[in-house]
Structure 1
């Protein structure tokens, strides 16, 4: 055992954390286990009082500080979870806490900090800017700074997660996946597990756009990222801690990088197992575990992922839900060119077969061709997407696969369409029971009597599907169309006089 490891083992075994923390559960994940052909366990740090592991390191650091040098208050900088840990620890220890948080911090975390009685100050757009301001405030008020990750006592507090893992699972474990931001949790867990269970592989997981530990280990020195993505705000750190890097370079086996889509899919996986909504950083370990299994083709192993936090703003779920299916390779987003004539839309749907349609966007452009933005469910994953694209191409449809096009996924899917010079266009809104094949049956019932000039459909997981349809109705066909709509069997409402339609699409 090295002197560094011996020092940290002593600190971890003497850490004071359970005044504010619980021994979190090691939760079996049978759905993931079956899907990945491995035994998957989740270390549920999202169950802590502050909904993340951060209360461990924060309390241990402040408690040890007060034993050596009693103070009336502390100052900290955090993207949110460490802030709650410091606020809770300060309240329990009877001192003041001043927390500087980036302005991008989710409101749920800011309110939680204030609920613990701390002073929350929003400053800057990222952690590093907030850190600089917190250090200045500490000097001004005479309060010591409590670093979110780069302190031996903080690392030791987080290392108690590793102690619990060894106690809770004395049987063999092959790989433990740990989210990495500044590196405190990864350092604490890896240094302890490599002491007691050296055969266990420790894998850190970071977002592709916040790969500070990955890049530092590759360079064999700490690097500063020019910028970091904010989707996983809990790990949006430009530079890992010096103490954390010193430990991780010796005891962390590797770091895997994952995308926004993979994190979103992992949030859904954890929800399906636990009925808990983790934040993106909290789902990192599961996302990394899934990538590891896919790339290494491992099976029959015991894999443990630390679900590190559940502080997510409710309104962010809209974005997460949009990205989930693509992250699981269970949805293809395709741009397809079809002929502009009656019946071509129906023919295209028939070419898709019995696959579930998740989204259709179409607006008439000219008399020759039309472009369709389609979301198609893929139970068979990425292999099925390739087969679908090839099948449509073989049928003569020009196809552009946009499944990994961020601009299309974030923006263009919502911007398709615009005013069109369509003679005698009428607009209808329909609802029909949402079940497999329902959209195709709807289009089949529409027949080929009128040319579809506008179509929008999105499956939101509700009991009823909702469709907006525009049709070019020749003069004299109005009564015939009204009769057809009445007999169609779907709940429909005419929207031809809708103000929004007149303003934006007519």
Structure 2
């Protein structure tokens, strides 16, 4: 048994002081849908609704064992890592100073405060995370604190490996396939190392949001590289640069084992899990489940474990998630329509719509000429092919229009 395996199992036992093992649940809905034996490792059911508590606990425990009088721990995070550090700071009775961007939603700030209570101090600094991180590291150096990295730390990686230790024990055998979400790489590195020793025949697929493919970029480059642009919608996994220590574990990953998932498609899975299963997942937590759509051939007839990494979903985001899901499924489109300024013109347009077509938005943007007005129209329907009939009707009626649904620049500005 390697030193890493011993430490990961010790870490897994330490978790029991804070919470029982998160459930490993067979999902009948997904199993039937994909023709496989699919299990969900429910990290969304940890005390802080994500796996981040594991790495924070192991890293803080190791630091205190080495330096018992260490009384200040510092981190920079706008999400799950902050909540994990807060919870563990309260558990050990040490001071946790948590730096968050000024733009952090109040809901996340309050949840972090609830988990940490009097043991933590929250400092809101910086409009962007890089500024927040710099401030946290400067403060940590100034006060002689211990900085808790969200992923690029060997103790954090050991802690996250406890997910695999629990899952293998709960399943009672090695799964055929494990599907992992990837952000900075702490979870995937820990599980990869653990399974590499106890279940070397288990196949692992790594899933990233399309707007934050830091692992794929590092594999292509031959080392960690900073992405020029990141889509922050999948905030739990949208990382511009994978960790150096985590990539050292993942550097030999075959490129075809890494999959990128469109952000809008993830929204369809969030809604499906919520409406069908009653399971609340954040975007990063839905990554591994959504990836099953691309892995149908690989997983057929096999035992598959998907790690649902987090469930810290702010329901104020639900309208946006529904919107993105509808657009991805082709059930909602936005048009810029040049509508004649004459009696009956609107009626002519409305007659083009079918019985299952609804106007979700209708807004005059400006008058572009004396006899015409520019109108933003949002249309919802129940089948994508209904739009074919709408476009045929618009063309036949002589209406000038532009479909701006997939034009990110225009859509972001007017929608």
Contact residue 358 and residue 379 of structure 2 kept, 8 A? yes
The 3 A distance-change label for structure 1 pair 410 and 343 is same
User: Residues 80-99 of structure 1: matches in 2 within 5 Å?
Assistant: 80-99=79-98
**Deviation sequence 1:27-83 (CA, Å, 0-9, x none):** 444444555555544322111111111001110111122222212222222232111
Name the TM-score, length of structure 2 as normaliser. Answer: 0.84
Does the CA contact (< 8 Å) of 1:187 and 1:251 recur in 2?
Answer: no
**Residue in structure 2 matched with residue 264 of structure 1 by the alignment:** 267
The verdict on how the C-alpha distance between 1:172 and 1:321 changes in structure 2, with shifts beyond 3 A counting, is same
The structure with the larger Rg is 1
Worse overlay, 20-29 or 87-96: 20-29
Matches of 2:344 and 2:303, distance apart in 1 = 53
- Name the CA distance, whole Å, in 2 between partners of 1:334 and 1:301: 44
CA distance in structure 1 between the partners assigned to 2:292 and 2:128 by the alignment:
27
| d(CA) in 2 for partners of 1:305, 1:385 | 35
Counterpart for residue 61 of structure 1: 59
Q: How many aligned residue pairs are there?
A: 405
- Which residue does 1:52 correspond to in 2? 50
Q: For residue 234 of structure 1, give the secondary structure of its aligned residue in structure 2.
A: coil
Work out whether residues 202 and 252 of structure 1, in 8 Å CA contact, stay in contact via their aligned partners in 2.
no
Match of 2:104 in 1: 105
* Selected match of 1:245 from 244, 247, 252: 247
> Residue 313 of structure 1 aligns with which residue?
314
The correspondence for 2:10, drawn from 4, 8, 14, is 14
Map 1:185-224; keep pairs closer than 5 Å.
185-224=187-226
Residue number in structure 1 paired with 2:362: 361
Q: Paired residue for 1:403? A: 405
Superposed displacement of residue 184, structure 1: 0.2
RMSD (Å), alpha carbons: 3.2
| Pair 1:44–1:298, CA change in 2 (3 A) | closer
Partner of 1:125: 127
Asked if 1:331 corresponds to 2:329, the answer is: no
- CA distance, structure 2, for counterparts of residue 202 and residue 141 of structure 1: 42
Counterpart secondary structure, 1:233:
coil
Q: Which range is displaced more, 340-349 or 258-267?
A: 340-349
Tell me how far 1:400 sits from its aligned partner. 3.2
> How is 1:106-505 mapped onto 2 (pairs within 5 angstroms)?
106-115=105-114, 116=116, 117-170=119-172, 173-251=175-253, 254-290=257-293, 292-293=294-295, 299-336=300-337, 342-357=343-358, 359-361=360-362, 363=364, 365=367, 373-377=376-380, 379-381=382-384, 384=385, 387-388=388-389, 391-392=392-393, 395-396=396-397, 398=400, 400-413=402-415
How far off is 1:175 after superposition? Answer: 3.8
C-alpha displacement of 1:320: 2.5
Q: Contact 2:360–2:380 (CA<8 Å) still a contact in 1?
A: no
- Which ranges in structure 2 are unaligned for 5 or more consecutive residues? none
Deviation at 1:243, TM superposition (A): 1.1
Other-structure match for 1:466: none
Structure of higher RCO (CA pairs closer than 8 Å, 6+ residues apart): 2
Q: 1:301 to 1:377 in 2, by over 3 A?
A: farther
Normalising by structure 1, we get a TM-score of 0.70
**Conserved 8 A contact 1:79-1:234:** no
Question: Any stretches of 5+ residues in structure 1 without a counterpart?
Answer: 414-506
Query: Alignment partner of 1:74: what SS?
Result: strand
Deviations 1:240-298 (A, max 9, x none): 211111112235763322333223323212212443433332233333333x248x697
Q: 1:348 to 1:66 in 2, by over 3 A?
A: same
Q: Distance in 1 between matches of 2:386 and 2:178?
A: 32
Secondary structure of 2:15's aligned partner:
coil
Offset of residue 202 of structure 1? 2.1
1:26 aligns with 2:24: yes
Cα distance in 2, alignment partners of residues 201 and 401 from structure 1: 42
CA distance in 1, matches of 2:392, 2:53: 53
Q: Is the 8 A contact 2:352 2:390 kept in 1?
A: no
